[in-house]
């Protein structure tokens, strides 16, 4: 099955700086890559996703890039704000069964 690894496990950034989280996946058939944000005590919520026919997608201060050859994808958060502090999960799916293989999560702390 699919195996998704997420690095680093914890990331501290100064407010206003950029944060980058990288994930690697093992199944070359995977074609859907979402990112979820989970604030303390809240449910995970999708913040951005990308499909394998696209190399980059951007939504305001967040962007995701995908390198299918290297089998990795990254989340980029620019101009970080305190409300960006959360656990971020990457995931991968090969579509047909829509099962998501999640990474272990990354704790992002934005220091004011």
Partner 1 sequence: EADIYQTPRYLVIGTGKKITLECSQTMGHDKMYWYQQDPGMELHLIHYSYGVNSTEKGDLSSESTVSRIRTEHFPLTLESARPSHTSQYLCASSVAGMEGYEQYFGPGTRLTVT
**How far are the Cα atoms of 68, 84, 106 from residue 39, in angstroms, in the given order?**
29, 9, 12
Q: Which residues bind partner 1 (CB under 8 A)?
A: 1, 31-32, 34, 38, 40-46, 49, 51, 87, 89, 93-100, 102, 104-105, 107
Cα 84 to the center of its chain, rounded Å = 13
Dihedral angle sign, alpha carbons of residues 58, 59, 61, 62: negative
Please state the φ and ψ torsions of residue 83, each to the nearest 5 degrees. -70, -5
For the bound state, the minimum distance from the C-beta of residue 65 to partner 1, rounded and expressed in Å, comes to: 18
Lookup result for tokens 């959360």 = 86
For the bound state, the minimum distance from the C-beta of residue 85 to partner 1, rounded and expressed in Å, comes to: 12
If the CB atoms of residues 46 and 111 are measured against partner 1, the closer one turns out to be 46
For the bound state, the minimum distance from the C-beta of residue 46 to partner 1, rounded and expressed in Å, comes to: 5
If the CB atoms of residues 8 and 16 are measured against partner 1, the closer one turns out to be 8
For the bound state, the minimum distance from the C-beta of residue 17 to partner 1, rounded and expressed in Å, comes to: 22
If the CB atoms of residues 96 and 112 are measured against partner 1, the closer one turns out to be 96
6/74 Cα distance (integer angstroms): 9
- Where helices occur in 28-73 by DSSP H, the ranges are none
If the CB atoms of residues 80 and 93 are measured against partner 1, the closer one turns out to be 93
């Amino acid at each position: 099955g699919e195996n998704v690894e997420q690095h680093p496990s914890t990331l501290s950034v100064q407010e206003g700086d950029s944060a980058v989280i990288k994930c690697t996946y093992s199944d070359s058939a995977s074609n859907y890559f979402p990112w979820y944000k989970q604030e303390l005590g809240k449910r995970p919520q999708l913040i951005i996703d990308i499909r394998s026919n696209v190399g980059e997608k951007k939504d305001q201060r967040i962007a995701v890039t995908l390198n299918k050859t290297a089998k990795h994808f990254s989340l980029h958060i620019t101009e970080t704000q305190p409300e960006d502090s959360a656990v971020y999960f990457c995931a991968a799916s090969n579509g047909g069964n829509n099962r998501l293989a999640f990474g272990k999560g990354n704790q992002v702390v934005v220091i004011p």
